[in-house]
Structure 1
């Protein structure tokens, strides 16, 4: 259920006809994460440059709307804007999976290049759903957390693996594990109660959930670099005057630039925090990488088959 009060609803789309508007922006992750910090900066820039006429309140950590409900809440106008992990939209349109394909783009320059290739298609799909794409923020590369060392996939056979998107569910299947959907706030309890035994996620999520309390090993497979996207309800955006729209778009461009500029440093900082708290950080064995790249090839082929024309266009723009 949405955690929306009547007061918030009264401050919804109906308020966009007047100035000194107050908008609400739910985000799924906590304040310690780079995407959330950038969201606060974005909101402050908009407020400053509109001279307070547009005040965006960031509700972090799923405190206003649950993660999986954020896209629908923005689309229907229950909130004006929101942030979402793009991969959770993969069942709606295969183009949202482009940054969840293992080993398609594993460096930050390649991930940014892939985003530029996919961005027009993503914006078009969101527009059809009544939303305007504002900006994206990349996560650090996704790697493997486990209680015991993992040198080959057989070491994980039968384990329950955290899943958080259609692509990560498929990955868990292909790894010989059981996919189990767990959102970030529930990770510690899921490990402590045996609901999951492993996960593939960023060093930032590991720090945010204090992974050292329940796992010992972080294997840097760096399989892919996913993104959060920030979207705004199209009707709410269009009701703003042109000057306010431009301020939002300028702030969004600055937010996206800040994300690409800061993600590598955040990854290094968070990995150092894992080490400082006693976790063993290691490079993957050649056998493990070979097995994972074979899975990546399978997932890439499946992705292409889902939407041959759209996926081919993204890959063409990415590879050219």
Structure 2
């Protein structure tokens, strides 16, 4: 019996066989390495939950994909009770729920304040999606903006043609294909091996992931294009949630509400710290010139209406968002 089979069997026993209101111990699946700030936020959350529930609820953070689940599998893994709690990148779940890709549309969301606005407007829809998939959102945290790490510098639009670039989601793949690049969508665990073997020569990701992957060993340039925003949400399986007492549930919700603003501030500082570290390691920071930026935005904006055509539920959210941020 392999590790993943044991996890599934254990989850079934834990979610189905434990008496309601007993002390609970939950594994929390985190695909990112322990040093990543999302993993650190999860550890902080677990510590605060233990304190708030007087040790009645224990969350064991399993970082680095220790439980065997990749990022795109998290929505289903929590839904099916294979793991009680998980943190998932929203735009990796679009194969199941396309609306979760709304905030990752190219150049739609470009600043911390815009991230807050889109989250506030989309959160009711996110909550409905979570409930549909047998889970409850505990908190959400943004990623730093998505940049382009590459072996060579892209100075003009035609420079994209040389990029064999890793992307996270369909939005990214479609966008970079429009730019002239050759995108390859893959989960985080496959990125560094693909760079090392030459399957790809560039990656679009955050500064945090650039450090996680030690990209200074593989790339020389970080293009600060900030073309996409991404979010992680932490959810709990509803069967596990319902085993808690009302007081335990309230304590956990209160912890999540208190910590989420701190995690958002940490995300902003994370970007500055990680960009400095990358620079110190020899990665050259490149600001996109006006021609390059105009080219990227011109390719990006038609995708907003195309997304609405594909996902009609996004129409009201995007219209309210654009009115609010005047974009």
TM-score by length of 1: 0.94
Change (3 A) 1:2 1:94: farther
Using the TM superposition, give the Cα deviation of residue 41 of structure 1 relative to its aligned residue in structure 2, in angstroms.
0.8
Task: Give matches, 1:1-320, under 5 Å.
Answer: 3-5=4-6, 6-7=9-10, 9-15=12-18, 17-64=20-67, 65-308=69-312, 310-318=313-321, 319-320=323-324
Is this contact kept in 2: 1:13–1:77, CA < 8 A?
no
Structure 2 distance, partners of 1:228, 1:189, is: 24
In structure 2, runs of 5+ residues without a counterpart are none
- 89-98 vs 266-275, which moves further: 89-98
Structure 1 distance, partners of 2:101, 2:114, is: 16
Using the TM superposition, give the Cα deviation of residue 107 of structure 1 relative to its aligned residue in structure 2, in angstroms.
0.7
Structure 2 distance, partners of 1:8, 1:231, is: 16
Structure 1 distance, partners of 2:318, 2:11, is: 42
Is this contact kept in 2: 1:95–1:118, CA < 8 A?
no
Partner of 2:301, secondary structure, is helix
Aligned-residue Cα RMSD (Å) equals 1.7
Structure 2 distance, partners of 1:140, 1:2, is: 33
Is this contact kept in 1: 2:72–2:187, CA < 8 A?
no
Using the TM superposition, give the Cα deviation of residue 153 of structure 1 relative to its aligned residue in structure 2, in angstroms.
3.0
Using the TM superposition, give the Cα deviation of residue 199 of structure 1 relative to its aligned residue in structure 2, in angstroms.
1.5
Partner of 1:199, secondary structure, is strand
Structure 2 distance, partners of 1:16, 1:54, is: 14
Change (3 A) 1:80 1:16: farther
Structure 2 distance, partners of 1:121, 1:76, is: 21
Using the TM superposition, give the Cα deviation of residue 7 of structure 1 relative to its aligned residue in structure 2, in angstroms.
4.3
Structure 2 distance, partners of 1:12, 1:93, is: 25
Structure 2 distance, partners of 1:16, 1:199, is: 47
| 1:206-262 deviation per Cα after TM superposition (whole angstroms, max 9, x unaligned) | 011001000000010011221111111122212311111111111221232122111
Using the TM superposition, give the Cα deviation of residue 11 of structure 1 relative to its aligned residue in structure 2, in angstroms.
3.0
Structure 1 distance, partners of 2:141, 2:115, is: 11
Structure 1 distance, partners of 2:19, 2:297, is: 49
Using the TM superposition, give the Cα deviation of residue 15 of structure 1 relative to its aligned residue in structure 2, in angstroms.
2.5
Structure 2 distance, partners of 1:294, 1:123, is: 32
- 123-132 vs 5-14, which moves further: 5-14
TM-score by length of 2: 0.92
Using the TM superposition, give the Cα deviation of residue 69 of structure 1 relative to its aligned residue in structure 2, in angstroms.
2.0
Is this contact kept in 2: 1:142–1:200, CA < 8 A?
yes
- 197-206 vs 161-170, which moves further: 161-170
